Structure 1
Amino acid sequence: MACPICSKPGVPAYRPFCSKRCADIDLGRWLRGDYVIPGASQDDLSSDMNGENEKNSGEGLDSRPKRP
């Protein structure tokens, strides 16, 4: 299998990469957010979550009545 970064042959120790350098380059791309999985935008998700939080506010994980 060819290295996805530089297309050299992969090395089993760094599979699917050819070296630690190429593995680190790939990790850096993930951490910067260069690789994105298509889906709903974060704004859409946060507005959906706000509605849920309002319905369940004050209940927390335990639905029993709270002590004063």
Structure 2
Amino acid sequence: ACAAVLNELAAEQNLVNECSDQTRSKQLTEQDNNLAYDLSENPEKFIEMLEAELDGDLPEELEDIFNPEK
């Protein structure tokens, strides 16, 4: 009986993790889309960001997009 309860809890936890992963990836996609829109409206900002990327001093929120492996 105990094992069955634990299995059920583990299954629920997997569902929760899956949902939060999907939510996170949806939020990241929305951030990317918002950023892409901002940059298409403001190409100078895009050039500034690329220069910042080359200089290695990128703001935290952009760091995730340019360097996702971190």
**Bin of the TM-score, shorter chain as denominator length:** 0.3 to 0.5
Larger radius of gyration: 1
TM (normalized to structure 2)? 0.33
Higher helix share: 2
TM (normalized to structure 1)? 0.33
